[in-house]
Amino acid sequence: MCQKQVYDIAEVCKMLGTTSRTLRFYEEKGIVQSTSVGLSSRRHYTEGQISHIKSVLVLRALGLSVRTIAAFQAKGTDLKDAVLSKRAEIVASIDSRLREIALLNDALSALESGTDIFADNWRRSSAMNAKEKAIVRICTDAVLSGDTDTLYEHLAPRLIEYMPKDVFRVVRKDTLAPLGDFVSVDKIVADDRIANKLYCYIKYSKLGLKITYVFHGGKIAGLWLGYYDTNAR
């Protein structure tokens, strides 16, 4: 039995769960193609063209614009690279939003304490700490979950050499053992005297975990796990 080689647009729409209007639009933009059959004006598609349409629909579902898909096709970019590029774009957007949120939180804290947020020194210190605070949040989550891969992406090479992953896992296990049940991440505080030093306080049922971060060149050059009394704060 011969396998069908060409499919009518109505069949393709039913097969892929899309509409003829969508396929015509994609063809107008040059990201899909159709095949003419005889004198018919209806669009038809080969199995290869249907496979390509599936890829386009996946990329659209992942959030890539028609213009971006067209640009990737013009460059000969494969599907994996297209997905990686979109992920990088989203990560960059999230990082930017995290910085904005961190800066807004700093502004609210300053206003609540009566600090003049229009002073030049406050703006400089807040802008300088915004990126580091976003990294601290990511790394604190990594410490709490035991995700060493994510944590070590943000560590300076010298610290990685001084503290290999297996060493950190042992230190983490021993430090977290007496804390009790996790309650919440309390706050992130910048050191008043050292601009590149931040502290993250995490509440547990028995003790508080204090993580100290020291930054250099955008990377964490110092990392310490300690305790604090949750009742004293």
pLDDT digits (tens, 9 = 90+) for 106-147: 677 767 777 776 665 555 455 556 788 889 999 999 999 999
217: left (phi over 0), alpha (psi -120 to 50) or beta: left
Last residue of a domain, one of 22, 46, 76: 76
Task: Give yes or no: residues 70 and 156 share one domain.
Answer: no
Structural element, H or E, at residue 34: none
**Cα(63)–Cα(58) distance, rounded to whole angstroms?**
9
CATH number, domain at 158?
3.10.450.590
The residue whose two tokens read 């993580």 is: 211
Mean pLDDT of 94-115: 71
- Grouping H, G, I as helix, E, B as strand and the rest as coil, residue 88 is helix
Looking at the fold, whether 140 and 220 belong to one and the same domain comes out as yes
The answer to whether 204 touches 177, Cβ cutoff 8 Å, is no
Q: Do 143 and 211 touch, CB atoms closer than 8 A?
A: yes
Residues 195, 87, single domain; the answer is: yes
Residue owning tokens 């669009």: 43
**DSSP character at residue 163:** S
Q: Which of 14, 49, 76 is the last residue of a domain?
A: 76
* The predicted structure's pLDDT at residue 193: 73
pLDDT of residue 123: 53
Whether 98 and 201 map to the same domain: the answer is: yes
Which ranges constitute the DSSP H helices of 62-181?
66-75, 79-112, 120-145, 148-153, 157-162, 165-176
Distances (CA, A) of 151 to 12, 23, 59, 146, 202: 46, 44, 30, 9, 17
Q: How many structural domains comprise the chain?
A: 2
Residue 16's domain comprises 6-76
pLDDT attached to residue 122: 54
**pLDDT tens-digit series, residues 170-198:** 999 999 999 988 888 888 888 877 778 89
The string of pLDDT tens digits covering residues 54-91 is 989 988 888 888 988 888 888 887 777 777 777 777 77
The answer to whether residues 180 and 207 touch, using CB atoms and an 8 Å cutoff, is yes
Q: How far apart are CA 53 and CA 11, in angstroms?
A: 13
- Average per-residue pLDDT for the chain: 84
Whether residue 224 is predicted with pLDDT greater than 80 in this model: the reply is: yes
Residue 116 sits in the same domain as residue 30: no
Residue 203 and residue 110 in one domain: yes
- Does residue 1 lie within any of the structural domains? no
Residue 151 forms part of a structural domain: yes
Categorize the per-residue pLDDT at 26 as very low, low, confident or very high, splitting at 50, 70 and 90. very high
pTM: 0.48
User: What is the CATH number for 54?
Assistant: 1.10.1660.10
Using DSSP, state whether 205 is helix, strand or coil: coil
**What angle is formed at CA 24 by the lines to CA 6 and CA 46, rounded to 5 degrees?**
15
130 and 23 in a common domain: no
| Shared domain check, 160 and 144 | yes
Residues 143 and 188 in one domain: yes
Please tell me whether residues 72 and 123 are part of one structural domain.
Answer: no
Write down which residue in 40, 55, 76 finishes a domain: 76
3-state helix, strand, coil in the chain (%, to 5): 55, 20, 25
Is residue 105 helix, strand or coil? helix
In a domain, 104, yes or no: yes
65 and 116 share one domain: no
Place of tokens 């609540």: 112
pLDDT band of 102, cuts 50, 70, 90: low
Let me know whether 181 and 107 are in one domain. yes
pLDDT confidence of residue 127:
52
